[in-house]
């Protein structure tokens, strides 16, 4: 299994677990969260893919079935995750992390789409170590949605699309 990770707008392709951990740590600990004076600078996200061969967005013939996107704000101590993939044979779904103890009174900036920019719903915030554990789990399971995180149905605008408190997807 090869982990392809887009970190700081550069693809890394790694197989050894110490290299995987190094790339995950770089994505979480050295991410640019963006300005608190929205909208600019918007911050950045990292993306992780698992496949039998290296993948980049220039490969048009195929794409991995699943991917995990990470928004990290190291100075605030929080991150948010987006998982997109297949559940079953044909249904593509998108889930966002749900932080059971998200800091709603002072939410950190966690960008989901730097191009617009859109931020995650504040309830998606997770402590950095929980996000790190989830990214490692994604890589070790070949792209499965990590079970170490509570997930809710969401989309790529950062919105939560399911009623709460029915939070477990």
Whether 17 is covered by a domain: the verdict is yes
CA distances from 90 to 32, 39, 86, 93, 146 (A): 35, 36, 7, 10, 20
Residue 27 lies in a domain: yes
In a domain, 166, yes or no: no
- Give the range of the structural domain holding residue 85, as residue numbers without chain letter: 2-34+41-153
Alpha-helix residue ranges (DSSP H) falling in 11-92: 17-29
Whole-number Cα distances in Å, 94 to 64, 69, 142, 164? 15, 11, 17, 17
State the pLDDT at residue 79: 96
How many domains in the chain?
1
What is the pTM assigned to this prediction?
0.90
Inter-residue contact 9 to 46 (CB < 8 Å): no
Q: Is residue 91 domain-resident? A: yes
Give the per-residue pLDDT at 41: 66
Structure tokens at 151: 């997930």
Residue 166 is predicted with a pLDDT of 52
pLDDT at 42: 62
Predicted confidence pLDDT, tens digits, the chain (169 residues): 999 999 998 999 999 999 999 999 999 999 876 766 655 666 789 999 999 999 998 988 888 889 999 999 998 999 999 999 976 667 789 999 999 999 999 999 898 888 777 889 999 999 999 999 999 999 999 999 999 999 999 998 889 998 875 555 5
| pLDDT computed for residue 114 by the predictor | 81
Q: 121 in a domain, yes or no?
A: yes
Per the domain annotation, does 161 fall within a domain? Answer: no
């Amino acid at each position: 299994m090869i982990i392809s990770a887009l970190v700081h707008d550069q693809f890394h392709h790694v197989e050894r677990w110490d290299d995987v951990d190094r790339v995950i740590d770089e994505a979480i600990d050295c991410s640019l969260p963006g300005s608190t004076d929205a909208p600019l600078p918007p911050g950045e996200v990292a993306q992780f893919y698992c496949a039998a061969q290296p993948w980049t967005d220039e490969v048009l013939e195929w794409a991995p079935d699943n991917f995990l996107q990470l928004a990290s704000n190291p100075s605030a101590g929080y991150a948010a995750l987006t998982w997109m993939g297949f559940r079953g044979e044909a249904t593509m779904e998108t889930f966002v992390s749900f932080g059971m103890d998200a800091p709603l009174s002072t939410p950190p900036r966690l960008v989901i789409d730097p191009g617009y920019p859109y931020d995650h719903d504040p309830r998606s915030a997770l402590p950095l170590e929980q996000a790190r554990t989830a990214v490692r789990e994604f890589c070790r399971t070949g792209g499965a949605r990590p079970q170490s995180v509570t997930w809710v149905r969401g989309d790529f605008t950062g919105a939560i699309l399911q009623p709460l408190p029915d939070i477990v997807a």
